[in-house]
Amino acid sequence: MRCLLFLLLWGLPQIRRTSEVPQRNFPFRCLQISSFLNRSWARTDGLAWLGELQPYVWKNDSDTIRFLKPWSQGTFSDQQWEELQHLFRVYRSSVTRDIQEFAKMLHTAYPLEVQVSAGCEVHPGNTSESFLYVAFQGRDILSFQGTSWVPAPDTPQWVARVIEVLNDDQGTSEMVQSLLNDTCPQFVRGLLETGKSELDRQVKPEAWLSSGPAPGPGRLLLVCHVSGFYPKPVWVMWMRGEQEEPSTQQGDILPNADETWYLRVTLDVAAREAAGLTCRVRHSSLGGEDIILYWEQSRASAGLIAGAVLVSLLIAGGLLTCWFKKRSSYQDIL
């Protein structure tokens, strides 16, 4: 995994120079979340991602899919987009009704949660791959493969009945094939063009060190913070010289509000072994120049001492000023 990441980061700048098409992969994923509290209460919300970016949101309350990016319409004309949106609107109301009917037919207990994940990915060389998965109560139950619906492994018996009904509906199957085989890749090719500058954006990380709560007597938790980078792939490691520290713990990569990322990487060490350790950060935006931060053993205590000295000085200064003020006011009286 780490090797792959290395190769990817190392390879990126070279590949990009020779080609206009972004070479990182940008899967396009639409997510539909339908919640049914009871027989009459339902809502469906949608969102879509292109790689790490979210160009669309579609709230239940709205009749239109909201653009979150200036390039969200891709290279589709207003009319093409309007037709697509109309199709999704019809789909949204009929899918709600269909699920309610299935639930009635199968005597399913509420509340129900249905999630659909669908989309495609255009590869370099202009080939593409599409997918459509459906989950029920958080578990995969079926997907669309080639020309028909198929059950996920280990699904309950009733899923077979649902699939039978779905596969009898030739019209829907053809519509899904056309959306997955043609519309989606065509639309995504357009997005890769109109969104190119934002998709290719590179933002350098900032990195800093701190110490976490002591994991035990005589031990230190060294924390390396890496923030504000884009795109998401990053490599951060605690090192001794050129040697990786195998007990380095990597947190989840978390989103910042400005569509950049944050990562926290920690190391639990004996306090006397902390000196000489470094945190090393590698990212595509750094052009091969890793960020290297050195842990100084006396870092935390030096900070504390400096703080204590500063506070004493301030207090002393304050007292002196008061004393002088008092003296001068006494002098005024006298």
Residues of this chain that interact with ligand NAG (CB under 6 A) are 37-41, 43, 60, 126, 146-147, 177-178, 181
Residue recorded with tokens 């923030």 = 227
110/107 Cα distance (integer angstroms): 9
CB of 143 to ligand NAG, least distance (A): 12
Q: Which is nearer to ligand NAG, 39 or 326 (CB)?
A: 39
- Here the tokens at position 288 are 């091969």
Q: How far is the CB of 62 from ligand NAG (least distance, A)?
A: 9
Nearest residue (CB) to ligand NAG, 177 versus 248: 177
Q: How far is the CB of 35 from ligand NAG (least distance, A)?
A: 8
Nearer of residues 23 and 177 to ligand NAG, judged by Cβ = 177
Is the Cβ of residue 43 or residue 86 nearer to ligand NAG in the bound state? 43
Cα-only R_g, the chain: 29
Q: How far is the CB of 50 from ligand NAG (least distance, A)?
A: 17
**118 and 180 Cβ atoms separated by less than 8 Å:** yes
Helix or strand (DSSP H, E) at 35: strand 28-36
Identify the CA nearest to 15 among candidates 110, 91, 125: 125
Q: What is the C-alpha separation between 43 and 100, in angstroms, rounded?
A: 12
Q: Please report how close the Cβ of residue 130 comes to ligand NAG at its closest, in angstroms.
A: 7
* Phi/psi at 287 (5° precision): 55, 45
3-class secondary structure, 331 = helix
**Which residue, among 131, 173, 168, 172, has the nearest Cα to 152 in the 3D structure?**
131
| Least distance to ligand NAG, CB of residue 93, Å | 7
Whole-angstrom distance, CA of residue 28 vs CA of residue 46: 13
Q: Minimum distance between the CB of residue 53 and ligand NAG, rounded to whole angstroms?
A: 21
Q: Which is closer to ligand NAG, CB of 19 or CB of 38?
A: 38
CB of 221 to ligand NAG, least distance (A): 45
Q: What is the sign, positive or negative, of the torsion defined by CA atoms of 174, 179, 185, 190?
A: positive
Between 127 and 157, whose beta carbon lies closer to ligand NAG? 127
Residue 31 Cα distances to 57, 156, 186, 256, angstroms: 10, 23, 19, 22
Tell me whether residue 56 or residue 262 sits nearer to ligand NAG (CB atom).
56
Distance CA(129)–CA(119), nearest Å, equals 9
The residue (of 64 and 256) whose beta carbon lies closer to ligand NAG is 64
